[in-house]
Amino acid sequence: MTESEARQVVRLVELREEPLDVSEVVAALDDDTSGGLTLFVGRVRDHDHGQGVDGLDYSAHPSALDRMRDVCRRVAEDHDVTGVAAVHRVGTLAIGDVAVVVATTAAHRAEAFVASRALIDTLKAEVPIWKHQRFTDGTEEWVGAP
């Protein structure tokens, strides 16, 4: 797949302060060529490392959106997919809020699963988005910050 073709496969990439809508991501990848759609939804949980979590804030470096686009394009180039989408939340989130939604479509489910796993793992490893967790005991922690 050429870089130009990969850019056409990448259908939705955004950072948002507003709540995320899973159905928007699914709709962005709707087409008749895809037999499989694999979706990952990351939510804010009420615990981490054995501690209770009250909530968290996500901050993003100004380059984060460009880095997300690059990761999505690379996943499109490296996998036999027909669609790629990734949306990440920034700002203050509460327990249960959706923090990230990634999805890929492919002719068959196996490639959609592999591509979606690569997408979320690479986003978490390479995109400069930092999590500031607030614990129920009054302590706090930055995750992913330089």
Domain ranges of the chain: 3-143
Of the chain, the end-to-end C-alpha distance in Å amounts to 34
Question: Of 92, 95, 72, which Cα lies nearest the Cα of 9?
Answer: 72
Burial status of residue 119 (CB atoms within 10 A of its CB: 0-12, 13-18, 19 or more):
buried
pLDDT tens for 38-88 read 999 999 999 998 999 999 999 999 999 999 999 999 999 999 999 999 999
Number of residues assigned to the chain: 146
pLDDT tens for each residue of 85-119: 999 999 999 999 999 999 999 999 999 999 999 99
The architecture CATH gives domain 3-143:
Alpha-Beta Complex (3.90)
Which pTM was predicted? 0.93
Q: Confidence class of residue 144 from pLDDT cuts 50, 70 and 90?
A: confident
Phi, psi of 77 (to 5 degrees): -70, -35
Tokens representing 43 are 């939510």
